Amino acid sequence: MVTLVLIGLIGGFITGISPCILPVLPVIFLSGGAQGARSRESESSIARIPGMMTAGSLASLGSAPAQSTTSLSPARSSKWRPYLVVGGLVLSFTFFTLLGSTILTLLGLPQDFIRIAGIVALVLIGIAMMIPRLMEILEKPFTRFGRSQGKRPDNGFLLGIVLGAAYVPCAGPVLAAVSVAGTTGRIGPETVALALSFAIGTGIPLLAFALAGRGLTERIAAFRSRQKLIRIIAGAAMILLAIGLATDLPAKIQRALPDWTSSLQAGTDKYLRDSTPRGSSSTTCLDGADELANCGPLPKIEGAVAWFNTPGDQPLTETERKGKVTLVDFWAYSCINCQRSIPGVEKLYETYKDSGLQVIGVHSPEYAFEKEVDNVKKGAESLGITYPVAVDSDLVTWTNFDNHYWPAHYLADAKGELRALKYGEGGEATTEKLVRSLLTEANPGLVLPAPVFASDEPTATGERSPETYLGAARANHFVDGGLKIGTAEYSLPESQARDTFALDGRWKVEDEFIAPAEGGAGLSLAFKGKQVNLVVSGEGDLEWEVNGQKMTKRISGTPNGIELFASSETHEGELRLKASPGLKLYSFTFG
């Protein structure tokens, strides 16, 4: 038990200093931004106007209006404000993570109800901080709490509860263990201890920020004299946080940042889980191994509440997967690590699906709101997932695999035997190498597309251009905003933004591809990355130029990926391409 508590504390603390905590920090920092607990009596003797909030009121969501500060002590009440906010967050997050899903199921409410309610409450509190009269209305139900000896109550604890309901930290094995226990109902003393210690560990860095906010207010006179402005800024920060949570903006910001705590997190993983490798044979599957192993049959994929990206959204059966190399990707749509790894999984699927690779995304929820099928579909669509997805809301498949990580990749051969596994981000080049080995093993005469990954290093969004489709159905990166089906004459613009493509000459545009008309046509691609690949088919010649180097390739056959550019360093520039009639161009991918 002591070991579990220590692991929970360390894992929580690492999460508390990771990029995924950034969206919450402004609200936490400003939660202590009222008159300080140690400020002089003379600084807190300003008369209080009925119906208005004094300097101390920012530090007290849930306080009754009073006539003057001679009988009330805002400084005394704000002393515990940072501790109450973080304490409320810790208890709220622990409670909802362990029991939220069960309670919502019993009440017949949607699984994302708690999160939505938390976001709405954040908006209301934010508005109330800017409108004193509304604050009084919200405070009335709490005026009887903590009211003794003339002291004004401090319900910063309530704000903490609201934040805990909407709070979504990064996934990890510690949180995975807690979430799975909550979903499956297998909650015991050890799980509660692990959950609470994780939340406390996360709360330690947050408390430091809250105390820093209070300390700044105490020491800088400009802050003490501008409490109304601080209150408005704090309210605006809460509203912005709520909007960001509702639109998934924090996740987009986090994907653009490197995960500077990944190595620390990896260090705690091995202490939480049994380090014995999977498999019963002498050759076992090790996480991230660069060679294939024999680890027994691939566990069953079953118990999904829904499927999509399959014919008729029907389950993908073992019979349909028979004879195919299978890559199983465990993910959750709000998991930042998953969001970073999914483009690589999608690229493998697009490149090798016609060569015998079957990718199956198993969406196993980390939080209750991730159990809603519509939410999962929207998350998959926003991430560009086109391979089949099993919605494992009851964690049946997760349990079958004895999985503990988001993301986690399990690779099986054409006979259904597990041959490799990988936990976490990165390893794309190694996974691709193993996939190619299994495809060749299943079909020795198979001619495979050119490899699409040059490195195992995970690449954060923003360090490379996104996959760029050329057909009208998904030509979101066309320089003029969209393409229409049909044949037309195009010309290159005077300037071109990064991550866009432009056409030159006469092109025929279809749903999935573009084809040069008679005489050939040109294309300009503004990109960033270490590698540029093009999916192309047909019969004809392809010419391109990048970095002053001109290259030519004869194309013949079915859609295939070819490498146009590769470098050991990230490059930002322009690629000019000319295609002859008879070719069909589908998409660009980047490494």
What is the tens place of the pLDDT at every residue in 301-323?
999 999 999 999 999 888 888 89
What is the tens place of the pLDDT at every residue in 106-160?
766 665 666 677 677 767 777 876 776 766 665 555 554 444 444 444 556 777 7
The neighbouring-strand residues paired with 506 are 489
Neighbours of 3 (CB within 10 A): 9
Q: In this predicted structure, what is the pLDDT of residue 436?
A: 94
Angstrom distance (rounded) from CA 368 to CA 115: 9
Cα 522 to Cα 485, 487, 493: the distances in Å are: 18, 14, 13
What is the tens place of the pLDDT at every residue in 214-272?
777 666 555 555 666 766 777 787 787 777 767 766 555 555 555 544 544 554 554 44
Confidence of residue 486 (pLDDT cuts 50, 70, 90): very high
Q: In this predicted structure, what is the pLDDT of residue 298?
A: 93
The neighbouring-strand residues paired with 411 are 327, 420
Q: In this predicted structure, what is the pLDDT of residue 365?
A: 85
pTM: 0.47
Angstrom distance (rounded) from CA 245 to CA 257: 17
**Among residues of the chain, what percentage have pLDDT more than 70?**
61
Residue 61 · residue 139 · CB < 8 Å: yes
What value does the mean pLDDT of the chain take?
74
Angstrom distance (rounded) from CA 377 to CA 360: 14
Which 3 state secondary structure label does DSSP give 554? strand
- Judged by average pLDDT, the poorest of 81-90, 384-393, 561-570 is 81-90
Angstrom distance (rounded) from CA 127 to CA 236: 8
State mean pLDDT over 383-394.
92
- Please give the span between the terminal C-alpha atoms of the chain, in angstroms, as a whole number: 44
State mean pLDDT over 478-505.
88
Which residues, other chains included, contact 225 with Cβ-Cβ below 8 Å and sequence gap of 6+?
A: none
Q: In this predicted structure, what is the pLDDT of residue 149?
A: 43
Angstrom distance (rounded) from CA 259 to CA 461: 12
Highest mean pLDDT among 43-57, 279-293, 310-324: 310-324
Closest CA to 485 of 476, 472, 475, 474: 472
Q: In this predicted structure, what is the pLDDT of residue 307?
A: 96
State mean pLDDT over 76-95.
73
Cα 451 to Cα 346, 429, 454: the distances in Å are: 14, 8, 8
Which 3 state secondary structure label does DSSP give 60? coil
Which 3 state secondary structure label does DSSP give 502? strand
